[in-house]
């Protein structure tokens, strides 16, 4: 789906947040190599340490642990990379377009329940490089979740944009007139302000639409 087609449903295009799939693949490769090396050394050391009581069993356990953890994390990151290849979040005035492997899903702001499961900043060395930095989940009203992690560029800005639109009614400004600002009236009706104008009306949630590429 082209952005011009998405704009007919979700308003003007504001910006995109791409997921760096190549970095995720490189990390998966490094973890898999570490796991293979750990097992390649750990298995012979384990065999040689049978019946001994010196430091060989501890070394064997360490090497085997590194190998198994490396393989496990490597497979996990590789699966993530394959499932989210070519992932991109397009921010529009009235919602998001979630693109994965050529498929696009239109998600109006009304279809998003909240931002949940946000992970705190990891202060350990190379946390961002290891994919252990900031992350969060986009929780939809149909109970689905879309997870965003540090491999997505400007993930914090994306989370803040969604929070403002969903929880505060402050929609991101697109090209042309300024963004809509929503206010809830005592009678339950929503009031929208744009460039000095105010219109009222009830908001109705539209289901997320999946669109063929």
Mean pLDDT by runs of 10 across the 213 residues of the chain is 72 90 88 92 85 75 90 89 88 92 90 80 54 82 90 91 91 65 65 47 50 52
Cβ atoms within 10 Å, residue 21: 16
Cβ atoms within 10 Å, residue 148: 24
**β-sheet bridge partners, residue 137:** 116, 147
The residue among 116, 183, 164 whose CA lies nearest residue 172 is 164
8 A C-beta contact, residue 211 and residue 103 = yes
8 A C-beta contact, residue 91 and residue 174 = no
Amino acid 3: pLDDT: 67
The residue among 140, 146, 175 whose CA lies nearest residue 3 is 175
8 A C-beta contact, residue 96 and residue 107 = yes
Amino acid 124: pLDDT: 53
CA distance 135 to 120: 8
| Domain boundaries along the sequence of the chain | 20-83
CA distance 33 to 213: 35
Amino acid 112: pLDDT: 93
């Amino acid at each position: 789906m082209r952005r011009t087609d998405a704009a007919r449903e979700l308003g003007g295009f504001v910006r995109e947040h791409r997921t760096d799939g190549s970095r995720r693949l490189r990390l998966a490769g490094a973890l898999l190599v570490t796991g293979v090396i750990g097992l390649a050394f750990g298995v012979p050391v384990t065999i040689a340490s049978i019946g001994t009581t010196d430091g060989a069993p501890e070394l064997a356990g360490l090497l085997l642990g590194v190998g198994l953890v490396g393989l496990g994390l490597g497979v996990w990151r590789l699966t993530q990379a394959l499932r989210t290849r070519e992932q991109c979040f397009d921010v529009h005035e009235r919602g998001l377009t979630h693109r994965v492997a050529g498929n696009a899903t239109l998600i109006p702001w009304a279809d998003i329940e909240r931002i949940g499961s946000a992970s705190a900043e990891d202060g350990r060395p190379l946390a961002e490089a290891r994919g252990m930095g900031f992350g969060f989940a986009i929780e939809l009203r149909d109970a689905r979740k879309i997870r965003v992690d540090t491999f997505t560029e400007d993930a914090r800005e994306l989370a803040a944009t969604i929070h403002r639109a969903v929880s505060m009614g402050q929609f991101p400004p697109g090209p042309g007139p300024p963004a809509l600002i929503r206010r809830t009236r005592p009678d339950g009706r929503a009031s929208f302000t744009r460039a000095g104008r105010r219109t009222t009306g009830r908001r109705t949630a539209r289901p997320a639409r999946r669109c063929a590429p």
